[in-house]
Structure 1
Amino acid sequence: MGTTSQRILEGMELRSYKQADLVEKTGISKGALSSYIAGRYVPKQNNIYLIAKALDVNEAWLMGADVPMERQDSTALSNKFYCNTEKEKSLIQSYRKLNSSNQDKGLSYIENLLTTQRMEDEVFLNAAHDLGATPEQKQHADDIMQDDSEWE
């Protein structure tokens, strides 16, 4: 059984991470991470989670427990609960590889795409419906649509 500091180092070596990589992926300060690795302090639960997630290891293993190092199969979990298609699976896997800042940017980009899509759908739906037009207004619109001189 190893200490948390030994397990962090083992996980970093396994993933070929430097301290700077772990700082970027977790958002934990350089000083705090150095203290954890040196064994001066043991990370609190929230930082254990961030480090374990970044290293893709089991939190209990990281804390020194005699359990398998491997994190629960996130791919199977994703397929079971979140992913209906290969595109969704690929999106989630890519998202998980991003650091926190880029995850935020990715979510913001997706939200912007959804807003744009909603606006496009609304414009299309409004154009495709008569929105309460009278028979005379419908006939007038049809006349314009069929009059080639209106389109020159």
Structure 2
Amino acid sequence: MELSAIRLKEIIDEKGISQQELSVKSGVHKSKISKYIKGEYCPKADAAQKMAEVLNVSPVWLMGVEGIDRYNQPTMSDNTTSSDIDKALEWYRLYKAANPQIQNAVEILLKSSQSDT
């Protein structure tokens, strides 16, 4: 099961809020919330942001990113869009699913590109 599904179910249970109530308060359709909890889909940045506001947690934590505190949100520049966040999350998931050799190659590539600037 996706970490995002585990976290969403966990926080809903802790808060004692129903899927229907979360849907009404967040504006995220109940059927989508149900699919997120089942692990069929991971919430995109805009849906995660809406649900996180109601649940008082970090949207990035809610999206299943490891190493993120439940309540603290990483700071982003004012021009960061939800599309940017979705893309970064997808890259993160691909990286985490890759074998250690691929992960190492990605790290080397990224570090070398930083030294070029």
Same fold (TM over 0.5): yes
Aligned partner of 1:67: which letter? I
Correspondence for 2:61: 61
* Greater relative CO (CA pairs within 8 A, separation 6+): 2
Matched residues in 2 for 1:10 and 1:71: separation? 17
Aligned residues: 71
Structure with greater proportional helix content: 1
1:52–1:59 CA contact under 8 A, matched in 2: yes
Q: Which runs of 4+ in 1 moved over 3 A?
A: none
Correspondence for 2:46: 46
State the identity as a percent: 31
2:45–2:63 CA contact under 8 A, matched in 1: no
TM-score by length of 2: 0.55
Larger Rg: 1
List alignment gaps of at least 5 residues for structure 1: 73-152
Matched residues in 2 for 1:30 and 1:67: separation? 26
2:48–2:63 CA contact under 8 A, matched in 1: yes
How far off is 1:3 after superposition? 0.8
1:26–1:54 CA contact under 8 A, matched in 2: yes
List alignment gaps of at least 5 residues for structure 2: 74-117
Matched residues in 2 for 1:5 and 1:39: separation? 5
Correspondence for 1:7: 7
Matched residues in 2 for 1:37 and 1:71: separation? 22
